[in-house]
A and B are shown apart, each in its own frame.
Chain A
Amino acid sequence: MLEARGLFKSYGDRAVVADLSLDVGAGEIVGLLGPNGAGKSTTVAMLCGLVGADRGEVFIGRGASRLALDEDAHAAKRRIGVVPQELSIYENLGAAANLELFGALYGLSGALLRQRVDAALALVGLADRARDKPQSFSGGMKRRLNIAAALVHDPDVLIFDEPTVGVDPQSRNAIFDNLETLRDRGKALLYTTHYMEEAERLCDRVVIMDHGRVVASDTLASLYKRLPAVETLELEVEGAVDLAALGAATGVTRPTQDGTRLHVGVVELGRSAPALLTWLAAHGHGVHRISSGRADLEDVFLSLTGRQLRD
């Protein structure tokens, strides 16, 4: 439903997005992840038609109804709903009036507009606050109205740019429910976020960007398989562990130590854990606590993009 092919964008000599391709199908949520400065915002801006690509194309729809964004921008934009990261609503207009405005921008009017406004408000749970102004809303309610504003023209493709920034867990869950409802209705959703747990909960597939390029694009299950260790062990140990020797002797991966906390990755928990404990005991490191866990998307993300700070 949303397809980008070979997008390239540079500012001066700096290539911000280089040869980026992705696609989002109907009834699918695709997460777009990346560290700061990876090119996510520029990618989203190109997908929405806010910024023109130097090269590459964006298509909306399938088959006979497929539209190229740069050839028929207005028709393509009518099928895209954008939820900016910022609260892009008019605080002094009522909730319904906001949606009526944004619906009118997409050519809706009359009974159809009112019907769509009511439906969008109902979806985000603001039907009973239709006349109230957002300035009287909580942060979570504003976020939901921000989403409703992108739904009112019933687009096929929805692009969410970090839509849950600064909301409480209850509102976040409500927003997740909204997104899942939209997916079930056959919408194509592209979701950018810095919260890995959100991507894990919501996304059917994940695209990870770094330095303007796609470094991974797959289902979560497939991404986990790329990790050198699917399981992790965290131990509280005595003394400074020789991490290189530990890795070489036991086969654990990415061992790190922070004070008394030793963190390692293991491919097979049943085989690696005994070897690890034996090695630690043999080298005089008393073990006071041990816990295991599965690698998560954050591990995948960090393994692909590194731990270096991005500003």
Chain B
Amino acid sequence: MQLAAFRALVRKDLVLYFSNRRALVMSILAPIVIAAFFGAIFGSGMDKPTRIPIAFADRDASALSQAVAAAVKADAAFDVKEGDEAAAIALAREGKVRAAVVLPPGFGEQARRALVGAGDKPVVAVHYDPSQATAMTLVRGLLAQHVMKALGDSVGGSTLAAALPAGMTAARTSAFSLPFATEAVESTGRTDRPYNGYAHSFAGMGVQFILFMGIEVGVGVLLARRLGLWKRLRAAPLSRGLLLGSHIASGAITALVLLAIIYAAAIGIFHVRIDGSVAGFVGIAIAFALLTSSFGLLIAAIGKTPEATRGLAIFATLVMVMLGGAWVPSFVFPPWLQTASLVVPTRWAVDGLDAMTWRGLGFDAAIAPIAVLLAFSVLFAAIAVWRFDWEEPRA
């Protein structure tokens, strides 16, 4: 009898769980999608290696520097954008490349001499994106490889020994070091302040958890339907626009207040600074707040039950946040994913907040994120209004 009861209880739990198709899909789909995401990022062996976008400025224009430039450009590890020094540095500062390599005037001559210990080493400035500093090591290593190879080629031999001046002993060759030095320069808004890693973390986590709040806005509407509150609200002399608009407004205000508190903590405790345009930061914050509330309304429009909707919405949010670069820097994404993630609003929110804080960019850099976030807000709101089920009950 005990066994029969035990079996019945176990069967009941299994039937209840497996008959809840939404929960089942979530339990299966979520790990598959997230595992696929990380697998794609950290290499499945099926894709070509990710090319690191860098900028390259050759201020020397010597035969050696041009050879180095050509070698770097030909390197499959790099996606090189050539230009002058200012443009290269701007690209790094805007986060469009991981690093900007600047070969100084006289690089070729100085490097050749430095190779044999005569004269100072030329200093190659590498302006790097400090939020993605792991790329710096790779840039330095590959740069050294290409400079050494170009030097070897330029002295007409395949080995460095051929470049040795007459009379130099073998013993002295053991003291060889790289014929150039690198100066790592953080590409941030302020040269007098080091990069603050909290700035990017707060952008990412702020976006993630405020979107979670947006989910609650949507689930709140579904709960109001279930509790009959929605019926009471709709029985009042209020237009549909006013009813939905009030939800968008309250959701946006809540999101804005939360973002303000989160950044107040970031600034007060973790010394994050808005080194760029304050107006741009506020603009992005407002646009993201509107996005959050319209996302909540979209959830309310397409959701069925509060429980199932909350699960699916959290999943969707996590995917958006992953693709937005809040968990891992987007430069480690495969190229196709880097492109694809541009259609994810969270990417624009995180990048926009980064631009206005530690990157120190001006208002013009905020215009595109604001426009994209507002466009997504309008899209979400339009779908929500279109899909919203006004007529209840259907009995």
Report A's interface with B, CB cutoff 8 A: 11, 16, 37, 39, 41-42, 45, 48-52, 73-75, 77-78, 80, 82, 84-90, 102, 105-107, 149-150
Residue from B227, B231, B236, B392 within 8 A of A102 (CB atoms): B236
Contact check: which of B226, B231, B237, B238 meets A50 at CB < 8 Å?
B231
In whole angstroms, what is the CA distance A85 to B232 when docked? 10
The answer, yes or no, to whether B10 is at the interface (CB within 8 Å) is no
9 A-B pairs (CB sep. < 8 Å):
A37-B395, A42-B393, A50-B231, A50-B234, A73-B237, A74-B239, A88-B229, A89-B229, A102-B236
How many Å lie between the Cα of A86 and that of B231 in the bound state?
9
B228 at the interface (CB under 8 A from A): yes
By beta carbon, the residue of chain B nearest A153 is: B236
Q: Which residues of A contact B235 (CB under 8 A)?
A: 48-50, 77, 80, 82
Docked-complex contact A74 and B395, CB < 8 angstroms = no
- B227 lies within 8 A of A88 (CB): yes
In the complex, are the beta carbons of A84 and B237 less than 8 A apart?
no
Interface pair B395/A42, CB less than 8 Å apart: yes
Candidates B229, B234, B238; contact of A90 at CB < 8 Å: B229
Hey, what's the 0/1 contact readout for B230-272 against A, CB within 8 Å counting as 1?
0111111111000000000000000000000000000000000
Instruction: Specify which chain B residues have a CB less than 8 angstroms from the CB of A85 in the assembled complex.
Output: 228
Decide yes or no whether B391 CB sits under 8 A from chain A: yes
**CB within 8 Å for A51 and B237 given contacts A82-B232, A85-B228, A88-B228:** no
Nearest-neighbor residue (CB-CB) of A150 within chain B = B232
Q: A88-B229, A102-B232, A106-B237 are known contacts; what are 13 more A-B pairs with Cβ within 8 Å?
A: A37-B395, A42-B395, A50-B231, A50-B234, A50-B235, A50-B391, A74-B237, A80-B235, A84-B228, A86-B229, A88-B227, A107-B237, A150-B232
- Closest chain B residue to A83 by CB distance? B232
Contact B231 A84 (CB under 8 A): yes
Q: Which chain A residues border B391 with CB–CB below 8 Å? A: 45, 50-52
* Residues on the B chain within 8 Å of A74, using CB: 237-239
B391's nearest neighbour on chain A, judged by CB, is A51
Q: A41-B393, A42-B395 are in contact. Are A75 and B237 (CB under 8 A)?
A: yes
Q: How far, in angstroms, from A260 to B88 measured CA to CA in the complex? A: 101
- Within 8 Å by CB of B232, from A42, A75, A88, lies A88
Residues of A within 8 A of B237 (CB): 73-75, 77-78, 105-107
Tell me whether B12 is interfacial, beta carbon within 8 Å. no
Contact of A87 among B227, B234, B394, B395 (CB under 8 A): B227
Q: Tell me whether A82 and B229 are in contact in the complex, defined as CB-CB below 8 angstroms, given that A41-B393, A106-B236 are known contacts.
A: no
* B residues less than 8 Å from A75 (CB atoms): 237
Of all chain A residues, the one with the shortest Cβ separation from B230 is: A88
Contact between chains at A11 and B394 (CB < 8 Å):
yes
Residues of B within 8 A of A (CB): 226-229, 231-239, 391-395
Known: A73-B237, A74-B237, A106-B237. A82 touches B231 (CB 8 A): yes
Give Cα A37 to B393, complex, Å: 12
B233 in contact with A41 (CB, 8 Å): no
**Complex Cα–Cα for A49 and B234 (A):** 8
CB-CB < 8 A to A45: which residues of B?
A: 391-393
Bound complex: CA A145 to CA B233 (Å): 16
Compute how far the CA of A86 lies from the CA of B232 in the bound complex, rounded to whole angstroms.
10
With the chains together, A49 CA to B237 CA distance in Å? 9
Chain A residue at minimum C-beta to C-beta distance from B394? A11
Q: Are A41 and B232 in contact (CB under 8 A)?
A: no
**Cα A105 to Cα B230 with chains together (Å):** 13
One of B226, B236, B395 near A16 (C-beta < 8 A):
B395
Whether A86 contacts B395 in the complex (CB less than 8 A), given A77-B235, A78-B237, A105-B236, comes out as no
Which residues of chain A are within 8 angstroms of B226 by Cβ–Cβ distance? 86
Residues of B within 8 A of A88 (CB): 227-229, 231-232
Q: Bound state CA distance, A48 and B236, in angstroms?
A: 9
Contact present for B229 and A50 (CB under 8 Å): no
Of A37, A86, A149, most buried by chain B (CB within 10 Å of CB) is: A86
Chain A, residue nearest B236 (CB):
A105
> In the complex, what residues of B have CB within 8 A of residue A150's CB?
232
Task: Report the Cα distance A107→B391, complex, angstroms.
Answer: 24
* Residue among A87, A90, A105, A149 with most chain B CB within 10 A: A105
Closest to A76 in B: B237
Q: Which residues of B contact A78 (CB under 8 A)?
A: 237
5 tightest Cβ-Cβ pairs between the two chains A and B:
A86-B228, A74-B237, A84-B228, A105-B236, A88-B228
Listed residue (A16, A45, A74, A87) with the most chain B CB atoms within 10 angstroms of its CB = A45
Cβ contact within 8 Å between B231 and A51:
no
Contact of B395 among A41, A82, A149 (CB under 8 A): A41
Quick check: B232 and A149 within 8 Å, CB to CB? Answer: yes
